[in-house]
Amino acid sequence: MRLFSIVLLLWMPYIAFSQNQSPPKPKLVIGIMVDQLRWDYLYRYADKYGEAGFKRLQKGYNCENTHIPYVPTITGPGHTCVYTGSVPAIHGIIGNEWYDRDSRSVVNCIGDTSYHTIGASSREGQASPNRLLTTTITDELRMASSFHSKVIGIAAKDRAAILPVGHAANAAYFFDGESGRWVSSSYYMDTLPKWVNDFNAKKLPAKYAAGNWNTLLDIKQYTESTPDNEPWERPLRGEEKPIFPHMIAEAVAKDPGALIGTPWGNTMTLDFARAVIDGEQMGKGAYTDFLAISCSSTDLIGHQFGPNSIEAEDGMLRLDHDLGEFLSYLDKTVGAGNYIVFLTADHGVSHSQGFNREHKMPAGSYQGDSLVKISNAFLRQKYGADSLIERYTSMQLYLNYTSIKQHNLNAAAIRHDLSEYLLTIRGMAKVIDLSEVTTTSLPAPYREMLVNGYNQKRSGDIQVVYEPGYMEGFTKGSTHSAVYSYDSHIPLLWYGWGVKSAHDYSQIYMTDIAATLAAMLHIQEPNGCVGKPIAGLMK
């Protein structure tokens, strides 16, 4: 007996060490990105939300003061920053697209003709994460588990499915509007799994659209929104007026992709998420799995009708219901307490120009093509050379260095003169020579957003910063991309395994999400991560 006690005492440190080396982990991590979800949507419609969706998630850890630390605040960079914990200056996804000087063409952030579509004959699957320069938290999970953990991304938008799951994912699935099918890229697979084909065989777009789009509640109850048929709303394709009911059945029959511009695009995405979990048995193995979901329809609805429309409110009420059903499904299949969910957004959205003007708020817009024209006209008059500006994308102008060299001109002088000229245009807050971005005379938070968004190899030469309320294009509907809080203040909700119940009002950034997940899962943070773990979140 004494010998047994001595042996036990000798082994206890090793037992403790072994336990410390194998901390408990959730069976499944669910990341939910809601495209174009303003932070205030959580509260504007709160009286109409049920208890099972947003309100249930808010009973977890609610990061009330979460912001995006870079520009432009748009989809590609937003999804990338959440999962890399990094910024465009490092991870390289500076926009949904950008001008590539070598090929002298605009490139898509995930476009890749080396691959083809799996599951349809369209070009939708000519895509990969190869322009992403860093790892993601999902890549790190795959490597930490010796590639046993399953990682899958899904979204109606291809970039929103591909970028979150990085380079080493098992799969990324996205919706092909041409065929009305969920498809993938040959980057991931040679054929679709049977369960995906079975889901596609249900031909759900037509079924979802069959009842057309009327309001979930009596339209008189939508008092948080402007009246139906405001002049700044854009009708759906085939409609004369942007009013309820929206007769979408015929439009979806002709073009299944039209469904994504209605709340049922999100419904279908969450239905497909169930099929993914069931088909791949996610959360059932010995390793933590990760499903990255992006709900794209809120973005299309906001662009079409603006954030104060009845359509935007109805979309949120229906999404709340769909989230509640999805969480209930997770409870039954993965088990309550076995999964962790975080919900956030890739960006917010500005009020529509017409809405702002009606209420005496500053507003305006500019077209990128017109900025190129007036810039080239100014430079032609001053320097006697044509086409000194090649392109404008994501609020940046690209100089034509070939023409500058041919005419023996000074690029620095051109950047300086053009910046001063454009600043005289109404609605311009700042025009910046990006070679001097670190010293520009902007308030520190805005300057840091510009620095974080600037990638020396991919970005342009001159950055335009519009005044609050001004935007690119969209004289009707609305858009996003600015440094201001309506685009940069986003929700961040955590719920489930290992999560405290609290409201956190401290300054938190989108880039902190990946760092927090790395700490919770006890794995290495992504290799370009600049975020910090949210210390108060974890039990």
| Positions marked catalytic | 75
What is the SS3 string spanning 422-479? HCCCCCEEEEEEHHHHHHCCCCHHHHHHHHHHCCCCCCCCEEEEECCCEEECCCCCCC
- The 3-state DSSP composition of the chain as helix, strand, coil percent (nearest 5) reads 40, 20, 40
Q: Report the sign of the C-alpha dihedral through residues 449, 453, 455, 460, in that order.
A: negative
- Using the structure block, give the residue that is written with the tokens 């991590």: 29
Cβ-based neighbours of 105, under 8 Å, separated by 6 or more: 99
Cβ-based neighbours of 436, under 8 Å, separated by 6 or more: none
Q: How far apart are alpha carbons 396 and 460 in whole angstroms?
A: 5
Cβ-based neighbours of 450, under 8 Å, separated by 6 or more: 70, 71, 432, 434, 437, 440, 442, 463, 465, 483
Instruction: Give Cα 339 to chain centroid, integer Å.
Output: 22
Cβ-based neighbours of 220, under 8 Å, separated by 6 or more: none
Q: How far apart are alpha carbons 15 and 26 in whole angstroms?
A: 22
The DSSP secondary structure of 280-317, one letter per residue, reads HTTT-SSS-EEEEEEE-HHHHHHHHH-TTSHHHHHHHH
> If 0-12 CB within 10 Å is exposed, 13-18 middle and 19+ buried, where does residue 288 land?
buried
The DSSP secondary structure of 331-385, one letter per residue, reads IIIIITTSEEEEEE-S---PPPHHHHHHTT---EEE-HHHHHHHHHHHHHHHHS-
Bond from prior residue into 245 cis (ω within 30 degrees of 0): yes
Q: Are strands 151-155 and 289-295 parallel, antiparallel or unpaired?
A: parallel
Torsion of the alpha carbons at 517, 523, 529 and 531, rounded to the nearest 10: 40
Q: CB–CB of 174/163 below 8 Å?
A: no
Neighbours of 239 (CB within 10 A): 13
Instruction: Give Cα 167 to chain centroid, integer Å.
Output: 17
Q: How far apart are alpha carbons 512 and 475 in whole angstroms?
A: 35
CA angle 280, 262, 197 (to 5 degrees): 30
